[in-house]
Structure 1
Amino acid sequence: MDIWERQRRSGPMLVFGTLLFVDVLRVWLPSTITIFGQAGATPPAHLGGFALLWFVLPFAVVWLWDDRFSDWPRRLLMNGSAVGLAGCRAALLFVHGGQPQLYVASAGVLCGLIWLVVQAMDGAPPVPGVPAGIALAAAGHLALGTVDLTWTGTWWAVVIVALELLAFLVFAIRRPWDVGTLSTGWSTAGPVLFLASVVVLSPAATMVEVSYLAGAPGGDLAGPGVGVSVSAWLGLLFVLPVVAFWRGMIRLSNGMPEVIIIFGVLLVVCVAVYMYVPVHGYGPIFRLAAIGFGAWALGRCLSVTWQGETYRPVLTGLSALGGMLLFAVAAVVYYAAYDLGYPNRWVPVVVAGYVALRASAFAGRGEIVDERDMRWSYVVLSVLMTGLFGLIGLGPTPPERPELRSVRLVAYNIRMGFGLDGTFDPSAAAAAVRQQHPDVVVLSEVDRGWLLNGGHDTLAILARKLGMRYTFAPAADPVWGDAVLTNLPVTSRKSVALSADGAPTGAQALGVTVRAGNREIAVVSTHIQPPAGRAPLTQARQISDFATRFGGDRPTIVAGDLNIQPGDESMDAFASSGFADALAGFRPLPTFPADHPTQQIDHVLVRGGLTASEPAVGSTTASDHAPLAVTLTW
C-alpha cells in the first residue's frame, strides 16, 4: 500500500480520533489544575510531574510494535487504544467532578496518545488528518460558544458525541498495514496542537481581539486596551484563520526549501507579534492579523510533513511521542509561570521555531502534486470580513433608567468558571448572580481562552446567560483578567496595570462609569495579588489612587477579590483615600472558601455618599469564592 492510499484511508480516522483526543484534553487539563492541583495548593513540581506522567507512559508501548511480534498483539494494541479513547470520551459526558473525572480524563489522554503513536508506527500520514481534526475541534468549539459538549448537560450533546464515536470506530477498528515507509511528520503533531490551541486556532483568542477593537472609543482604532461585548455574528470572523490554515495545508507540494523557510519565519514572527504586542492602541489589529497569517503559515509548514521515509517503526513512534511530550512540556512551562512568576511569552515562539525548523527539513523531499485552486476563497473572505467588521460596536445603547436611586452590586471571583468539584459550570455561576437581581456585576479571575482551562471564553458565556454587557481588562495576559457586567449605560472605561511587587500573577484596576438614575457612578473592578509573606500595600495604594482619579467627584465603588481581611493595614490605604468599608456594619460576611466560608477577602468599598443595605453572601460552590451582593443607595 503506497502512501497515497494510506493517506486516503487514514484521513477520516485521524480526523475523528484527533477530535476526540482534543475534547478529552479540554477536560483533562482543567481537571489536573482544579482537582489534582487544588487550584494552586499542590506544589508546582508535583503538579507538573503528574501532568507529564501521562505523556511519558506511552513510551513503554513503542517497543511492542516490533517485527518480532505477530499481527495479533499489534492489532490488540491498535484497536484496544481506540476503544479506550472512545469509551473515556463517552464516560466524560456522565462523570462530572472529583477524582472520577480526573482519572477518566487521564485514562482518555493515555489511550489517545497510544492510539496516535500506533497510527504513526503503522504508516498513517499525519497530514491532513490530524490538523484537520484540530481545525474541526476548534470550529465546533466556536459553534458551541466555547462550551464543550462535556459541560453542556443536554441530551443533544449525547447524540453528537455518539455520532462522533460511531464515525471514529467505523474507521479505527482495523488490521495493521504492512508498509515500508513511515512519515516522520508526526514529530510536529504535538507542537501544532499547542500553537493551534493557544494562538492561531483558538476561537476565544480571536473573539477577545475583536472585543478589544470594539472597545476603542468613538470608532477610534487607537483603543485603551479594554474589551467590550460584541455581536455574536462576529464569531464568523474565525472562518478566516480556519480557512487560511486549511488553505495552506492542502497545497500538498514538494515545497522548495527557500519557500518553506519563508513561511517558517512568517510563523515565528506572527506568534511573536501575538505574544508581545500589547492590546492597547493599534495592538488588536496587529494581533488579529498575526492570528490569520500565523494560521496560514502553520498550514504551509504542515503541507510538507506528510512525506514518507524508510524508518523503523520504533523510531517513528519515539518521534511522535516526543512531539506530544513537547506539547505537554510547553503547556506546563507556559502556564506554571502564572504561579511561579517568570517570563513565559517566549514559549509559543520557541515552539513555532521548532515547527519551522522541522518543516524546512522536510521541504523538497517528495513529489510535486496538483495544488488545489481556492483563489475564490479570498474574494468570499474579503467580502465577509468587510461586512462583519461593520458590526463591531454597533449594538443598541442600553436605555436610561431615571427612576434609579440605588444599584444592586455583586462581586464574585468566578475561578475561571470551575466549581470546587472541578466541573466547568457557568450556568450555576450565572444562576447565583441572577438570584441577586444585580445592576452591576464585578468579576475576578476571568478566563477568556486559556488552553489550561479548556479554551473557554468564560466572560462571554456568563454575559450571554445573564443577558448583560461586559467590559473586560487584561491582567496576567490578554485573555485573563477582571470584568464589569451591566446593562446600565456606560459612559467611560479605563484600565491601569498594577505593579507586580513580588506577586507572580499580574493585576490591574478597571474603571467603568455607569449612568444610574440622574447621576454617574464610577465602579472599579480589581483583584489584588499579594506578594508572598507581605501585605499588598503597593497595589492597594495604586488602586485607591486610580479610583480617586477615575471617580473624581462622582460616587465611586471599589469591589472585587482584594485578598485582604477586614482590619488589615492594606484596608487603611483605602481608608486614607476616603474609601469606607461598605459592609463593616454587617459582619460577619465570610466569602472564602465557598463550601465553608471562614474569611472575608472579597470587599466593597465606597466613597461619595453611598450607603449600603441588604448584604448577602451566596451559597453556591460554582467557584472557590461565594458571590457577595449589596445594595448601594445615594
Structure 2
Amino acid sequence: RAPQRALTAGGAALALLLGTLVFSMAAPSRDAKAAPAGGQVRLVSYNIHDAVDRRGRLDPEAVARTIEARRPDVVLLQEAGRGSLLSGTTDVGVWLSRRLGMKLLWGPAADGQFGNAILTSLPVERSGIGRMPRGDWSQIRGYVWAKLKVGSSSLDVWSTHLENGDDQGDERLREASALLRAWGGGPRTVVGGDFNAGPGADAIDRMTDGTGLRSAATGGDASPTTSEGERTDWIFGTDDLSFSGYQVTPAGSGHYPVSVTVRVGG
C-alpha cells in the first residue's frame, strides 16, 4: 500500500508522538541463532506498514513477535521506514534489527525514509539496492538484495514493493520487468515482496513466464495475504531451489507474513 495512507485520529497521533520513547525502551533480543541445518533456510516476506497496525497504532513489538513466531533465518520487509512520519520519525528497520538480533540491509524508495529491507542471521557476502523507473504519477519504487552464505553454497534474496492501485497494472508490469533485468537470471534466488497484484495479473505472469522463477506456494496454496482477502504478497524462487512449509498467517497489519522453507543445494 501507499505510505500516505491516513492513520486514525486521536490515539494514533499520540502513539506517533511517543514513538521515539517506545523504541528507546525496547531491549533487543540477544539470543544466538543456529546455522540452518542441511541447507534449509526459513524465509518470511512481510509488508509491515511501518509497524502501524490496522487501528492506526504504532506497535513494533507486535511486528517483532509475529516475525519471531515464524523462526526465520531471513526476513524480507516492505514499508520498513527509516524515520518516516508514519512511524513517528522512528527508525523501524534498526529497531527490528536490534530487537530480533538480525543484520539489517535497507533500500530506499519514495522519499528515502520509506523502503524495503532484509533482516538476516546468515553471513552476508554482498548486497545492493536499486530503484525502479518512475511513471507519470507513481511513487518511486525500489528493491534491496543480498547474497547470503548457506553452508558451502549461497542464496540470493530480493525484497521489493510494486506500485499500488487498480489502474496501475501497466506501471507494475514495467517495474516487474525492471526488477528482472536487475536480477539477470542468476541461480539460487528468492524474490519476495508486496506486488500489489493477484494471480493472473500481468506483473505476476511477467515474473514467472520464461524467467526460471516460480511461485513458492507449495501445493497451489491460494490463501489471501491481506486483511481484505487479496493475494498480493508473493515469494518466487528459481527452479534450482525446493520449497516446503509455505504458510500465510493472519496478523495485525493489513498484510500478512508469508513464510516458506527454502532448500539450497550444495
Who is 1:35 aligned against? Answer: 8
- Aligned-partner Cα distance in 2 for 1:424–1:548: 38
Who is 1:632 aligned against? Answer: 262
- Aligned-partner Cα distance in 1 for 2:86–2:261: 36
One-letter identity of the residue aligned with 1:564: A
Q: Which of 542, 550, 565 lines up with 2:178 in the alignment? A: 542
Q: Is the 8 A contact 1:448 1:479 kept in 2?
A: yes
Distance 1:399 1:429, change over 3 A: closer
Q: Is the 8 A contact 1:400 1:515 kept in 2?
A: no
Aligned residues with identical type, % of pairs: 29
Q: Is the 8 A contact 2:141 2:163 kept in 1?
A: yes
Check if 1:421 corresponds to 2:55: yes
- Aligned-partner Cα distance in 2 for 1:527–1:616: 20
Who is 2:117 aligned against? Answer: 483
Give SS of 1:494's match. Answer: strand
Which 5+ residue runs of structure 1 have no aligned equivalent? 1-29, 37-99, 106-136, 154-231, 233-397
Q: Is the 8 A contact 2:162 2:196 kept in 1?
A: yes
Matches within 5 A, 1:89-238: 101=11, 105=14, 147-149=20-22
- Aligned-partner Cα distance in 2 for 1:631–1:616: 10
Check if 1:562 corresponds to 2:192: no
Distance 1:541 1:421, change over 3 A: same
Q: Is the 8 A contact 2:23 2:95 kept in 1?
A: no
Check if 1:617 corresponds to 2:248: yes
Q: Is the 8 A contact 1:151 1:425 kept in 2?
A: no
- Aligned-partner Cα distance in 1 for 2:183–2:63: 27
One-letter identity of the residue aligned with 1:604: I
One-letter identity of the residue aligned with 2:229: T
Distance 1:532 1:617, change over 3 A: closer
Give 1:579 deviation, angstroms: 1.1
Deviation track 1:338-365 (CA, whole Å, cap 9, x = no partner) reads xxxxxxxxxxxxxxxxxxxxxxxxxxxx
Distance 1:466 1:586, change over 3 A: farther
- Aligned-partner Cα distance in 2 for 1:580–1:149: 40
Who is 2:235 aligned against? Answer: 604
Deviation track 1:37-66 (CA, whole Å, cap 9, x = no partner) reads xxxxxxxxxxxxxxxxxxxxxxxxxxxxxx
Give SS of 2:184's match. Answer: helix
Question: Which structure has the highest helix share of the two?
Answer: 1
- Aligned-partner Cα distance in 2 for 1:433–1:399: 14
- Aligned-partner Cα distance in 2 for 1:439–1:402: 8
Question: Which structure has the highest strand share of the two?
Answer: 2
Check if 1:499 corresponds to 2:133: yes
Give 1:149 deviation, angstroms: 4.7
One-letter identity of the residue aligned with 2:231: Q
Check if 1:573 corresponds to 2:206: yes
Distance 1:151 1:402, change over 3 A: closer
Deviation track 1:319-345 (CA, whole Å, cap 9, x = no partner) reads xxxxxxxxxxxxxxxxxxxxxxxxxxx
Q: Is the 8 A contact 1:581 1:603 kept in 2?
A: yes
Check if 1:440 corresponds to 2:74: yes
- Aligned-partner Cα distance in 2 for 1:441–1:459: 11
Distance 1:586 1:433, change over 3 A: farther
Q: Is the 8 A contact 1:495 1:508 kept in 2?
A: yes
- Aligned-partner Cα distance in 2 for 1:530–1:502: 14
Q: Is the 8 A contact 1:565 1:599 kept in 2?
A: yes
One-letter identity of the residue aligned with 1:570: A
Give 1:501 deviation, angstroms: 2.0
Give SS of 1:544's match. Answer: helix
Q: CA RMSD in A?
A: 2.9
Q: From the CA coordinates, give the structure whose radius of gyration is larger.
A: 1
Q: Is the 8 A contact 1:502 1:532 kept in 2?
A: no
- Aligned-partner Cα distance in 2 for 1:399–1:614: 20
Who is 1:217 aligned against? Answer: none
Give 1:402 deviation, angstroms: 7.6
- Aligned-partner Cα distance in 1 for 2:37–2:241: 17
Q: Is the 8 A contact 1:412 1:560 kept in 2?
A: yes
Give 1:573 deviation, angstroms: 1.1
Matches within 5 A, 1:14-53: 33-35=6-8
Give SS of 1:148's match. Answer: helix
Give the length in aligned residue pairs.
Answer: 253
Check if 1:510 corresponds to 2:138: no
Distance 1:629 1:452, change over 3 A: closer
- Aligned-partner Cα distance in 2 for 1:426–1:402: 26
Q: Which of 27, 30, 43 lines up with 1:409 in the alignment? A: 43
Deviation track 1:523-561 (CA, whole Å, cap 9, x = no partner) reads 011001146613111001111221235xx2x30010011
One-letter identity of the residue aligned with 1:488: L
Distance 1:399 1:467, change over 3 A: closer
- Aligned-partner Cα distance in 2 for 1:418–1:399: 27
Distance 1:503 1:482, change over 3 A: farther
TM-score with structure 2 length normalisation? 0.85
Give 1:510 deviation, angstroms: 1.3
Check if 1:474 corresponds to 2:108: yes
Q: Is the 8 A contact 2:50 2:86 kept in 1?
A: no
Deviation track 1:542-596 (CA, whole Å, cap 9, x = no partner) reads 11221235xx2x3001001111101212122111322111116242221112xxx
Structure number with greater CO (CA < 8 Å, separation at least 6) is 2
One-letter identity of the residue aligned with 2:204: M
TM-score with structure 1 length normalisation? 0.37
Runs (4+) of structure 1 exceeding 6 A deviation are 150-153
- Aligned-partner Cα distance in 2 for 1:584–1:404: 20
Q: Is the 8 A contact 1:503 1:531 kept in 2?
A: no
Q: Is the 8 A contact 1:586 1:615 kept in 2?
A: no
- Aligned-partner Cα distance in 2 for 1:482–1:633: 24
Give SS of 1:35's match. Answer: coil
